[in-house]
Amino acid sequence: MPLAFPLALITSITFGVLAWLLPAPKVLAVMIGIAAIVTVIRKPLWGLLLFAVIATFLPYTTVNVGIRTTVSEALIMLVWASVMAQHLFGQMHRAPKLLHTERMVVAFMLFTALPFVVGQIVIDAAGNGPVNWVRWLFNLSTLFLVPRLLDTQEKREQLVIGLLLGTLFLLLLAIPVYLKDSTPATLTDILGKLGYGSIDQLSEGLAGLSSRMASGWTHPNITGGAMALLVPLAACFGLTRKGWPRALGIAVTLLGMFGLLLTGSRGALVSLVLVLMWLARKRLPYTGRALMVGLVGAALLLMFYPPLQDRVLDLFSSNDASTSVRFDEYSNFPRAMAMYPLGIGFKVDPPVPGTTLWGISNLYLNYIYKVGVIGLVMFLLVVRSWWRASGPTTKTLVLTHDNAIWLGTLVGLLAALVSGLFDHYFSFTMVLVALFWLLLGLNLHEAQRLRAAPATTSVPVGSRL
């Protein structure tokens, strides 16, 4: 049965009821929204591409769908509704068999039901655990949208362009506003007009970070993490394409690196440098030059940009507040493990209210805090499975038009995992983790494609898919 007929029938009835109950301007606004939803239901790929743009440009713009959530997460839910409707009406091909890594992720998601239940029982604090858990699961589910919706090279390139366009919009908004005012106040006012909630709390939280650039990702460290994840993809894509896609990739690369320096996110910057050093060891062409150009650019910015000078000097200062807090978090972390051996679940984020515990600025320890040691082990098993499936198996690497998406996502994911030693944002931060798992799925299936066509690829990839 064609999907268009029931959608047209439902839309007609809805329009009639609304025209009867509401004024004309509200009816028009509602119908525009309904038309967009119907379009996504009919074309789920368009919904995923729209997610790629929104999630990288305005990740925390909110919408009320019975509960207050981000537009990015609402799009993920809508895309899944579309996928199920397409399957129901026979409009979509059957999903391919799950890869080993994908099966591991399913097991990980199922396991988190245990710390979720435990947290609901043992944590005596206000919080909506069921909603937070379901939202996090939907964020992880972007991994499984890749084989269902991005089954051709053309569609994967469209997704990459969507990610880069959103990132470009974010940088074109954040950088000029910061350079003009050197304060997050102007940006938070703009974000409030663009649908961000809790603007007063956001302004208060960023008040002490006026020397660092914020963005649509709100906190400078989250912005830095997003750049570490996406800039390598932009660089690989831009260097291997022609025309406006090349210009887009190079623009995002240059603006992304400049924005990363303005955020003062030392963890993201160090992670990118370490991954670039690994690429240089793999003899990837131009990596050494990129490191030299980056170091010269950073040195010039350091000479003429006092806020960056302060961030670097803090590294060698005994009064560096962020470093001191991290050491305190590590020293107090064993108490949190002893009090919550199965994790605190999803009702609240660390630290637990009403206790003397601290939070933790480490991706891997944050998994222990939230879902216990077993949860961390399962996550590490997922990472191990992904690396075996997608990691390079040769001593040298060559960047080509054919493997650019694979290599760009691989480097971005490695940078994100290394940055996890300094920050926790890629563990349970909504929307950012959706992008992480989306890129991991993209990388897995690009690796599978390259491995299936060894005659056309310059880089043999993982041995187990």
- Better pLDDT: 454 or 415: 415
Q: What count of other Cβ atoms lies within 10 Å of the Cβ of residue 110?
A: 11
Domain final residue, candidates 88, 111, 133: 88
Domain final residue, candidates 60, 88, 116: 88
Residue that is written with structure tokens 């679940």 in the block: 345
pLDDT of residue 306: 64
Asked whether the predicted pLDDT for residue 324 surpasses 90, the reply is: no
Establish if 277 belongs to a structural domain: yes
Chain segment 185-205, per-residue pLDDT in tens: 788 888 888 888 878 778 877
Q: What does pLDDT average to over the chain?
A: 85
Residues 32 and 135 in one domain: no
Give the C-alpha distances (Å, rounded to integers) separating 29 from 23, 46, 312: 10, 21, 50
381: closest CA among 147, 373, 411? 373
pTM: 0.89
Chain segment 336-353, per-residue pLDDT in tens: 899 999 999 999 999 888
Angle formed by the axes of helices 363-390 and 321-339, nearest 10°: 90
Q: Which domain holds residue 129?
A: 99-452
Burial pattern 428-458, b for ≥16 Cβ within 10 A else e, equals bbbbbbbbbbbbbbbbbbbbbbbbeeeeebe
The span from the CA of 277 to the CA of 288, in Å, is 8
Establish if 448 belongs to a structural domain: yes
295: closest CA among 250, 253, 257? 257
pLDDT of residue 87: 79
Establish if 170 belongs to a structural domain: yes
Establish if 79 belongs to a structural domain: yes
pLDDT of residue 212: 82
pLDDT of residue 136: 96
The string of DSSP codes covering 237-282 is: HHHH--SHHHHHHHHHHHHHHHHHHHHT-HHHHHHHHHHHHHHHHT
Residues 203 and 247 in one domain: yes
Average pLDDT over residues 318-341: 81
Residues 74 and 103 in one domain: no
The span from the CA of 235 to the CA of 230, in Å, is 9
Establish if 17 belongs to a structural domain: yes
pLDDT of residue 319: 57
* Number of domains the chain is built from: 2
Strand partners, 69: 63
Establish if 7 belongs to a structural domain: no
Residues 332 and 259 in one domain: yes
Whole-angstrom Cα Rg for the chain: 23
